[in-house]
């Protein structure tokens, strides 16, 4: 980028003629005239730099708004829900995105079991090259190739090669002074599939436990469900992990914290209003650097789309239904009491209106609108910033080129003016000499006439 100083001053030469000052003034005037385009370019560069700076400010405001929308998304997903389990010794509950408030009853009639086996004899670390072992799980056979024949190496190879099917561990069934290391195998799923390890067609294991699936029933449905895992999804966004069987159903109550959502909506209103104020500061007769620029219209439309979102298919159909009222000044005013009433009476409608960034509703609309504004590649603000930076660079290069031209002109004119001044000075010296001679001759003539 070129410098932003104007080459309006000129080099001074040490003139000796009586016209040196006039010559210097003429030189300065010519350089100033030649520098006028540079001055205009510098003004343009300053204007565009100010515009780019304002784009940076707007980007920070809209990024804060985007973060506020993401916080709302988190508040209506699993992160703001709490669970109450009536018997935490029987099962635990985990909440994720898509969960809704509700009460669930789970009867764990059988927690299930993993199939297990143990080496039939003390493991022998056969010297020499590593052998190929056969792992059998549920009628399927897998070749296991360890780095050597030690129990630790074989167990590690089983876990790295077939860890999704079987977990292998090395256990000492002897004493500390007389260890007896063996390989224990445990199926990854709850079912009746046996797990075995063999070498050369001979089994090395004794079967210990024959596995079985977990059995459970949800909300007294009368339908017993079998599962080959001890963690199951009870409802979208709600999963439970079985710890033990139970004679009676375990109640799981899922509730969302209205405080978390309320804080998220309050922060959203603040971020929205800050973005509105920054956009408004660029409009009108006293508008800022981006006054009249297309990017201001684009981001203003984005704010309008977010603030006026509605869903006529839902009982909670506007932001005002959640306590976010859009005023005539374009600002959002938030009322926590309105949200609390809506959430207590119809939390499902609140969830449906808000939706999520991925599935729909207000959050998806707001997310998509802000992506159009902030996307690093195609967003309105990053694209404007890129264009302004390119203009600043281009003008800077142009200034540098023109400054070089002015400097060249200045050097040339300085040389020419110095030559002219020297010639004038020489002529003035000659004139002075001749004038002196004539005066001397006149004096001599007068003296002779009076002699």
- Do 133 and 163 have their domain in common? yes
Do 184 and 266 share a structural domain? no
Q: Same domain for 145 and 226?
A: no
Among the listed residues 200, 208, 161, the one whose alpha carbon sits nearest the alpha carbon of residue 183: 208
Neighbours of 5 (CB within 10 A): 11
- Say if 449 falls within a structural domain: yes
- pLDDT beyond 60 at 9: no
Determine the pLDDT at residue 386. 94
* Residue 200 forms part of a structural domain: yes
For the record, the structure tokens of 418 come out as 């110095």
Shortest CA distance to 96 belongs to which of 264, 251, 233, 262?
233
**Together in a domain, 438 and 364:** yes
Q: Please report the pLDDT score of residue 6 as a whole number.
A: 44
Helix/strand/coil for 180: coil
Do 421 and 278 belong to one domain? yes
Same domain for 107 and 165, yes or no, is no
Same domain, 104 and 3: no
Instruction: Check pLDDT > 60 for residue 204.
Output: yes
Percent of the chain with pLDDT strictly greater than 70: 95
**Could you tell me which residue, 323 or 340, shows the higher pLDDT?**
323
Q: What is the pLDDT of residues 100-137, one digit of tens each?
A: 778 999 999 999 999 999 999 999 998 999 999 999 99
Q: Do both 321 and 370 map to the same domain?
A: yes
Which tokens in the block code for residue 143?
């070749």
* Total domains present in the chain: 3
Given pLDDT bands bounded at 50, 70 and 90, which one contains residue 451?
low
Query: Phi then psi for 259, rounded to 5 degrees?
Result: -65, -45
Are residue 33 and residue 74 in the same domain, yes or no? Answer: yes
- Establish if 342 belongs to a structural domain: yes
Residue 293 pLDDT level (bands cut at 50, 70, 90):
very high
Residue 40 pLDDT more than 80? Answer: yes
CA distance 445 to 443: 5
Residues forming a β-bridge with 205:
119
Q: Is pLDDT at 10 greater than 50 in this prediction?
A: no
* pLDDT, mean of residues 267-285: 95
Range of the domain at 160: 116-209
Residue 251 lies in a domain: no
Residues 97 and 229 in one domain: yes
Q: What is the band of 21 on the pLDDT scale with cuts at 50, 70, 90?
A: confident
- Whether 51 maps to a domain, the answer reads yes
Entry pTM: 0.61
- Residue 430: inside a domain: yes
Task: Please tell me whether residues 274 and 343 are part of one structural domain.
Answer: yes
The pLDDT value given to residue 24: 77
Residues 188, 218: one domain? no
Quick one: pLDDT at residue 442? 78
The pLDDT, as a whole number, for residue 3 is 47
Alpha carbons 322 and 341: distance in angstroms, whole number = 9
């Amino acid at each position: 980028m070129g410098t932003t100083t104007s080459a309006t001053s000129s080099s001074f030469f040490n003139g000796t003629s009586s016209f040196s000052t006039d010559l210097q003034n003429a030189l300065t005037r010519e350089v100033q005239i030649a520098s006028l385009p540079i001055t205009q370019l510098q003004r343009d560069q300053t204007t565009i730099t100010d515009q780019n700076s304002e784009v940076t400010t707007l980007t920070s405001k809209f990024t804060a708004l985007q973060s506020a929308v993401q916080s709302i998304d988190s508040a209506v997903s699993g992160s703001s829900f709490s669970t109450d389990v009536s018997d935490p010794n029987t099962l635990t509950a985990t909440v994720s995105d898509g969960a809704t408030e509700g009460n669930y009853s789970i009867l764990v009639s059988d927690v299930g079991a993993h199939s297990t086996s143990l080496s039939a004899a003390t493991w022998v670390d056969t010297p020499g090259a590593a052998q190929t072992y056969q792992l059998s799980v549920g009628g399927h056979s897998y070749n296991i190739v360890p780095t050597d024949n030690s129990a630790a190496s074989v167990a590690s190879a089983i876990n790295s090669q077939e860890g999704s099917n079987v977990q292998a561990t090395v256990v000492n069934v002897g004493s500390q002074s007389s260890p007896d290391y063996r390989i224990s195998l445990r199926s990854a799923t709850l079912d009746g599939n046996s797990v075995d390890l063999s070498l050369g067609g001979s089994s090395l294991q004794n079967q210990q436990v024959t596995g079985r699936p977990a059995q459970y029933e949800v909300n007294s449905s009368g339908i017993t469900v079998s599962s080959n895992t001890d963690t199951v999804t009870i409802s979208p966004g709600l999963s439970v992990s079985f710890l033990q069987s139970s004679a009676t159903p375990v109640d799981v109550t899922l509730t969302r914290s209205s405080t978390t959502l309320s804080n998220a909506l309050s922060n959203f209103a603040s971020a929205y209003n800050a973005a509105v104020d920054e956009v408004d500061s660029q409009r009108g007769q006293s508008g800022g650097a981006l006054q009249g620029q297309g990017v201001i219209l684009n981001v203003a439309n984005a704010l309008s789309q977010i603030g006026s979102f509605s869903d006529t298919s839902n009982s909670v159909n506007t932001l005002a239904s959640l306590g976010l009222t859009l005023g005539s000044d374009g600002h959002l005013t938030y009322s926590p009491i309105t949200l609390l009433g809506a959430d207590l009476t119809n939390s499902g409608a609140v969830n449906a209106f808000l939706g999520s960034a991925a599935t729909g509703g207000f959050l998806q609309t707001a997310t998509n609108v802000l992506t159009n504004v902030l996307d690093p590649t195609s967003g309105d603000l990053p694209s404007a910033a890129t264009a302004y930076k390119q203009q600043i660079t281009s003008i800077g290069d142009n200034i540098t080129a023109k400054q070089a031209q002015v400097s060249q002109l200045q050097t040339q004119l300085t040389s020419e003016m110095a030559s002219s001044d020297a010639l004038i000075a020489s002529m003035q010296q000659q004139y002075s000499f001749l004038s002196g001679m004539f005066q001397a001759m006149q004096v001599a003539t007068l003296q002779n006439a009076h002699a």
